[in-house]
Amino acid sequence: MSDVQTSKLEVIAGEMGVESAEDKNQHAPPKPLQLGFERAPCGHSPHELRRAYDESTQVALTSLDKKRNSLGIHNAVMPGGQRISLLKTMLTTACERNCFYCPFRAGRSAMKRVSFKPDEMASVFGEMSRARYAEGLFLSSGIIGGGVKTQDKLLDTVDILRRKKGFGGYIHLKMMPGAERDQIARAMALSSRVSINLEAPNASRLTALAPKKQFEDELLRPLIVAHEIRKAQPWKKWASTVTQFVVGAAGESDVELLSMTERLHKQAGLTRAYFSAFSPVRDTPLENHRAEDPWREHRLYQSSFLLRDYGFELEELQFGADGRLPLGVDPKIAWAQRNLTESPLEVNKADKRDLLRVPGIGPLGVEAILKARRIGTLREIKDLKALGILADRAAPYLLLNGRPAGSQQMRLF
């Protein structure tokens, strides 16, 4: 890789924090901004969280790690839980659009513009991959000459990587606004994951963020088309689809964000939504807008998982009069406090759907309980703990063989 290519990657990496892409640390709570919380919903005290955060940020980076980070290579958690080093980069940092939150917006003089040709980017990443410097690629781009033309360049890059370079690893490819049906199909055939960022939950909110983007035609439609392509040929291996919302810059409520997320899960086969707490970028129209509290992002993730994986409906979640989730309580605990405190569930009889709604019990815990019930009766707290249940969290909402779990010792026969 030449010095010019290295310095171009460094320029891109220096400004590319706006994209959530894959998780760095799934389900991790954010930095505890509000130390007034007595105990964070994850079960840790603010002091414990603060210490964990400080320790995690003080880990000494080796010079190799620093070099990789400066190029845009980060450790990322893949959909299956595997960790890989992922190059997160762009074909060009030039853009003809003017999204208010974006460092790459047209006319932002503080931004240095750099570009790669498709074959150049494919060669750079191919080299990194062969050297095991980066194992996966997240590729986006600013828009020049329209979304369709830009999408073609992104597709050409991935095509060269797959067909000429023989790269078989993870590729997350961005879809440009207005991408056409055959481009979407090609992207889904060549990539592991494609993303089309809605940015906002509806057209009117999008106007406050990205006035040149058309919500229905350019952003929502490609997500629906991706689902149609998958449904038309279900036997084929297609990329999963994800989207991302900017949170806190357009006055949108959590109800709006989660309504759209729920709709996309049900009607567009969306794998997941990413929520990116807004952080102002200097020399943009939103530079004086306040940064969003990262706890809001965390509560949105928790709620979207409840909707997607735990059988909850939007109406069951607790929102304030402003349509926001309370920041100080885990949404699953809030539901349990309202619905299970007075009528706890008998753990030996409750069905799968109800068990999944108890804090401290996840899909694996439910399976473990059902299996254990086939051979005996759950009677004591330690029986739940032996099954991997977060028993202290679950106990206030459970009965164990007819008696409140919180006040019992348990045995498993």
**Residue from 105, 153, 221, 296 that binds ligand SF4 (CB under 6 A)?**
105
116 binds ligand SF4 (CB under 6 A): no
Q: CA–CA separation, 255 vs 302, rounded Å?
A: 14
Q: CA–CA separation, 326 vs 319, rounded Å?
A: 7
Least Å from the CB of residue 196 to ligand SF4: 12
Numbers of helices and strands, H then E, in the chain: 15, 10
Least Å from the CB of residue 108 to ligand SF4: 9
**Residue from 104, 274, 295, 310 that binds ligand SF4 (CB under 6 A)?**
104
Strands 83-90 vs 73-77: parallel, antiparallel or unpaired: antiparallel
> Which element (helix H / strand E) includes 48?
helix 46-57
Burial 194-233 (b: 16+ CB within 10 A, else e): bbbbbbbbbeebbebbbeebebeebbbbbbbbbbebbeee
Q: Whose Cβ is closer to ligand SF4: residue 99's or residue 345's?
A: 99
Site for ligand SF4 in 201-230 (CB under 6 A): 210
Q: Whose Cβ is closer to ligand SF4: residue 210's or residue 361's?
A: 210
* Cα–chain center distance at 160: 28
Least Å from the CB of residue 36 to ligand SF4: 35
Q: Whose Cβ is closer to ligand SF4: residue 101's or residue 335's?
A: 101
307 binds ligand SF4 (CB under 6 A): no
Contact 92, 81 (CB under 8 A): no
264 binds ligand SF4 (CB under 6 A): no
**Residue from 9, 12, 91, 99 that binds ligand SF4 (CB under 6 A)?**
99
**Residue from 44, 67, 97, 227 that binds ligand SF4 (CB under 6 A)?**
97
Q: Whose Cβ is closer to ligand SF4: residue 142's or residue 222's?
A: 142
Size of the site for ligand SF4 (CB under 6 A): 9
179 binds ligand SF4 (CB under 6 A): no
Question: Coil, strand or helix: which one is 308?
Answer: helix
Contact 284, 102 (CB under 8 A): yes
258 binds ligand SF4 (CB under 6 A): no
238 binds ligand SF4 (CB under 6 A): no
143 binds ligand SF4 (CB under 6 A): yes
Closest CA to 246 of 272, 210, 216: 210
**Edge to edge, what strands does the sheet with 193-195 contain?**
73-77, 83-90, 136-140, 171-174, 193-195, 240-247, 272-277
95 binds ligand SF4 (CB under 6 A): yes
Q: Whose Cβ is closer to ligand SF4: residue 277's or residue 325's?
A: 277
Residue type, 120: E
The greatest distance separating any two alpha carbons of the chain, rounded to the nearest whole angstrom, comes to: 71
Chain residues binding ligand SF4 by CB under 6 A are 95, 97, 99, 102, 104-105, 142-143, 210
